[in-house]
């Protein structure tokens, strides 16, 4: 990032990576990305469809923003799997960097988010719920640039 808060040339064209909604959860997730403990994330296929966005693909890069919409890092997708919620594995749950030690803990935390008013409003579906069959996007990534150091 340049001193005036703008992205350097070449990075401005990258899509934004927004983890959760602005606030304490996003701050926690961004900190985990920056300290290296978060190397995976989970999305709901329905969210991508609602936004008209393509699913991530390996090799794609995006700019992680914090709660104040400041760019803090560039990440590169290293792997993508679409699996039903009931098939999420422990390695993915642990690599989310949120301190989960079981898939059940991971699922409970994510269901709170997906069943929350903000997520339901974002989908324009006040009754949205997930089940074992709900298709999820399991994305692995790595930090390629920490923009706080520039």
Instruction: Please say if the pLDDT value at position 150 is more than 90.
Output: no
Cβ atoms of 122 and 47 closer than 8 Å: yes
DSSP string for 75-130: EEEEEEEEEEGGG--HHHHHHTSS---SHHHHHHHHHHHHTSHHHHHHTT-TT---
Name the nearest CA neighbour of 120 among 131, 111, 132, 108: 111
Mean local confidence (pLDDT), 34-38: 95
Angstrom CA distances, 139 to 5, 18, 55, stand at 28, 13, 10
Beta bridge partners of 79: 140
pLDDT digits (tens, 9 = 90+) for 46-103: 999 999 999 999 999 999 999 999 999 999 999 999 999 999 999 999 999 999 999 9
Q: What is the mean pLDDT of the chain?
A: 92
pLDDT of residue 11: 79
pTM of the complete model: 0.88
Question: Please, are residues 42 and 96 in contact by the beta-carbon 8 Å criterion?
Answer: yes
pLDDT score recorded for residue 8: 65
């Amino acid at each position: 990032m340049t001193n005036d808060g703008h992205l350097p040339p070449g990075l401005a064209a990258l899509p934004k990576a927004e983890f959760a909604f602005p606030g304490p959860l996003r701050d926690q997730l961004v900190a985990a990305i920056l300290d290296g403990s978060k190397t995976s994330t989970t999305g709901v296929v329905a969210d991508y469809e609602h936004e008209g966005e393509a699913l991530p693909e390996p090799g794609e890069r995006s700019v992680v923003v914090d709660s104040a919409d400041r760019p803090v890092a560039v990440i590169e997708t290293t792997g993508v799997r679409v699996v039903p919620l009931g098939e999420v594995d422990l390695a993915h749950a642990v690599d989310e960097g949120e301190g989960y030690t079981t898939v059940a803990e991971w699922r409970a935390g994510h269901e709170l988010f997906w069943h929350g008013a903000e997520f339901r409003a974002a989908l324009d579906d006040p009754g949205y719920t997930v089940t074992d069959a709900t298709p999820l996007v399991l994305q692995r990534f790595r930090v390629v640039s920490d923009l706080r150091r520039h």
